[in-house]
Amino acid sequence: MVIQENMTVQKKLEILSDAAKYDVACTSSGVDRKGSGSGIGNSVACGICHTFSADGRCISLLKILLTNECIFDCKYCMNRASNDVLRATFSPEEICNLTIEFYRRNYIEGLFLSAGVLKSPDYTMEQMLKTLRMLREEYHFNGYIHCKAVPGADPVIVEMTGWYADRMSVNLELPTADSLKMLAPNKTRKNILKPMKQIQIGRLENKGMPVFNRIPFSEEDGYDTGRYLTTAAKAQTTSDIVLPDISDIVTADPSGSSFGLIKPPSVNRGFVPAGQSTQMIIGATPESDYQIISVAEALYQKFDLKRVFYSAYISINDDSNLPALTQGPPLLREHRLYQADWLLRFYGFQASELLSENRPNFNTLMDPKCNWALGHLEQFPVEVNKADYYTLLRIPGVGVKSAQRIVRARKSANLTFEDLKKIGVVLKRALYFITCNGRMMYPVKIEENYITSMLLQVKEKLPLGIEAASAYKQLSLFDNADFTSANADFRSLSQDNFLSGLGG
């Protein structure tokens, strides 16, 4: 291990921003907070992610690690204790200076702060808390802050951090407890779930809501997803069929988590007002898509998470317990999981409807919604002028916005295919599954093989990099491949002025 010696702030930034690239943070802030007039910055609910890297990652946050020194030895991690890499650690003052200086130069709109485990979980979490407290109380930074919680840290430190952060996240790391034991032996599922539950309780109590009476996502928007479910689907909800992989999530005991251990700070923005998220590595262990999506569903239902992120495994270390990837990270699989996750959160689907133990993985050739529709042709065609909102959501080519527009528009007139096109329905997908005023758009056979072959001719738009997995490339603040102009601006700052602005 190479330890820092008289390292400049810029060198630390180079090391610790590069080390943070494996944390996924592409999410809107979820917090609307205007400038107070006395502090610096504001937070816009949907504006934090308006800039993305070449591989789709958000770059409008200053995404760094407090330290890449780590006492843990997770087999998949670049920063594991046994790796011989250059190590660096920011002081809280250095992070505050960087955040404020970058914010003033309009480079960033907020901070994403994670860390290796330096000395102990408590010590690391204390340094992160010190950083956030300094930013809020001394620098009066009012912008968005996403902070990782370190599993195993004292609940008092976690709670205090939650009063200064907008969003917190605890990485689940791997889908099952067995995989965690195999690849991250220093971490336990219990230590990961405990702060998750603590953050959930804190958010609910801070909002004056009954602590354990979770409100499902879509009900917050006034929708009742349960009304669509068939009798069979209702009988197969997560709570009824508890896979061994999610039993510890479904049965998480809230009595082990605490909140109200400390007095909130005087500047009260609410406790973790943007909610919490988590991240799973997929492809490093043998879990099926069904297991992974079932774990995500259980986390949404039992921990009130805002997002579950899926991170395609990137082969960094040599270890007999890790898979050898010959074709790069499984980005298409990651994409299918995100599509399915969207169906869980916005379309009222259940994991058990999308996959099963007999059909455990998503079709790589077709998105999960089309795949589901092809397996349930008995429910089609759907008459768009009569079907309820939840039935419309299940039609391939009909999204949430277009379904809402259909419901509103048909109050004044019967819709035609031309109207649907104007509304935004993707007719080249939907035409096999709908009728307008009792008629299909073209004479179509409702037959699985025929529709499958026709849908496969409709080229699916995939995120950049998936079709050429070997081209996968992580973003760096010091990358000049696709951000020439931005880096030119960065380099235009004189080194002296830059460092003087940092106090370095």
The alpha helices in 59-142, defined as continuous H runs, are 92-104, 121-133
What pLDDT shows up at residue 19?
A: 84
**Any idea which of 67-71, 136-140, 172-176, 243-247 has the lowest mean pLDDT?**
243-247
Q: How far is CA 487 from the centre of its chain?
A: 27
Report yes or no on whether pTM surpasses 0.85. no
Largest CA distance in the chain: 76
DSSP output for 221-257:
TT--GGGT--HHHHHT-TTTS--GGGHHHHT--GGG-
Q: Which residues pair with 173 in a beta bridge?
A: 280
Cβ contacts of 54 within 8 Å, gap of 6 or more: 464, 465, 473, 475, 481, 482
- Residue 435's pLDDT band (boundaries 50, 70, 90)? very high
What average pLDDT does the chain have? Answer: 80
The model's confidence at residue 136, banded by pLDDT at 50, 70 and 90, is very high
Is residue 175 within 8 A of residue 295, CB to CB? The reply is: yes
Local confidence band at 206 (pLDDT 50, 70, 90 cut-offs): confident
Helix (H) or strand (E) holding 450: helix 448-456
**What are the C-alpha distances in Å from 156 to residues 66, 148, 252?**
20, 15, 20
Q: What is the mean pLDDT of residues 76-94?
A: 94
Give the Å distances, CA to CA, from 247 to 176, 298, 301, 302, 360: 10, 9, 13, 11, 18
pLDDT for res 231: 40
DSSP letter at 471 equals G
Q: What is the dihedral of CA 115, 121, 127, 131, to 10 degrees?
A: 60
The predicted structure's pLDDT at residue 259: 73
C-beta atoms surrounding 169 within 10 Å? 29
Calpha distance 134→139 (Å, rounded): 6
How far is Cα 112 from Cα 64, in angstroms, rounded to an integer? 6
Least confident stretch, 24-33, 45-54, 170-179: 45-54
* Amino acid identity at 42: N
The two structure tokens encoding residue 410: 């048909």
Note whether 298 and 238 are within 8 A (CB).
Answer: yes
Which amino acid is located at 361 in the chain?
Answer: N
Q: How confident is the model at residue 326 (pLDDT cuts 50, 70, 90)?
A: confident
With cut-offs at 50, 70 and 90, classify the pLDDT of residue 58. Answer: low
| Per-residue model confidence (pLDDT) at position 471 | 40
Using DSSP's 3-state secondary structure scheme, residue 340 falls into helix
